[in-house]
Structure 1
Amino acid sequence: MMAVSTVNILSIVLFFIFVSQGYSQCSLKDLSVSQSATGVKVQGKEEWSVTIINKCPCVQKNVLLDCKGFQSVERINPAVFKVSKNGCIVNNGEAVYRDAVKFKYAWDHQFPLNPISSDVFCSSI
């Protein structure tokens, strides 16, 4: 009976170790940035819809995208996406969860918006 109890406890401890290690593996690769043309023209420019999703179970803050040369004739809420000297800040630097962050911009072509940095925060189990 004691051996079964010890095995159960050991199994639970190992499970939590594996789960916590999985959480610490979160990185930029867990940030998905997708874009698609909406079919709408804004001041003669193609409108693009951008969706940013954090596929990591942890929160990512201070998400910065490479947006060299980014321009838009369509106003973008700066709390959602703002150009800075180091890149473009997503969600005003606040947490990006599993819920998508979305915005639209309008320009002649699609800009590559690749994640270049973030801070990963995992809650304790």
Structure 2
Amino acid sequence: MAYLKIFSLILLFGLVFKGSDAYCSIAQNIIVKQSRTGNWAHGMPEWKVTITNQCSCPQSQVELKCDGFQTYKYADQSILNFFGNVCLLKNGQPIFPSETVEFLYAWDPPYPFQPISSKGIC
């Protein structure tokens, strides 16, 4: 019985001190928002994409779904790189807790960027 109590205590402390953010869910912690800037490029509306890491751990190798993405205005390659159907943010460098990454593109309709993977650094 004492072993069960000790095991339960170790498990509880492991969960509390390791933190639930050690394994942040990309779907819940990498937030993608878009808004129109009011500018136009080649007759297409310009969109501002804001990506925020809401995990308490830095996230590296953040990838977005980009299949079928088109634009008349390309983002700075230090922010967004295309590899087939995947976009890599910041060349795979960490996005720190509460950090925001932004880029612009021009197309209509807006592209539904979705985070698909990242690596937590805790």
TM-score range, shorter chain: 0.7 to 0.9
Q: CA deviation at 1:85?
A: 1.6
Aligned length: 110
Gaps of 5+ in 1: 1-9
- Any conservation in 2 of the 1:41–1:47 contact (CA below 8 Å)? yes
The equivalent residue for 2:121 is 121
Secondary structure of 1:92 counterpart? helix
Structure with the greater alpha carbon radius of gyration: 1
Separation of aligned partners in 1, 2:50 and 2:66: 15
CA 1:108–1:62: 2 relative to 1, 3 Å: same
What TM-score, normalized by structure 2, do the two folds share? 0.82
Kept in 1: contact 2:23–2:120 (CA 8 A): no
Aligned-partner Cα distance in 2 for 1:113–1:39: 20
Greater shift, 50-59 or 78-87, is seen at 78-87
**Are the counterparts in 2 of residues 31 and 115 from structure 1 also a CA contact under 8 Å?**
yes
Matches of 2:65 and 2:15, distance apart in 1: 34
Partner of 1:75: 74
- Offset, 1:21: 2.6
Query: What is the match of residue 100 of structure 1?
Result: 100
Letter in 2 for 1:54: N
Alignment RMSD (CA, Å): 1.8
**TM-score when normalising by structure 1:** 0.80
Which 4+ runs in 1 deviate beyond 4 A?
none
In the alignment, is the contact (CA less than 8 A) between 1:27 and 1:120 conserved in 2?
no
Unaligned runs of 5+ in 2: 1-8
Shift of 1:17: 4.7
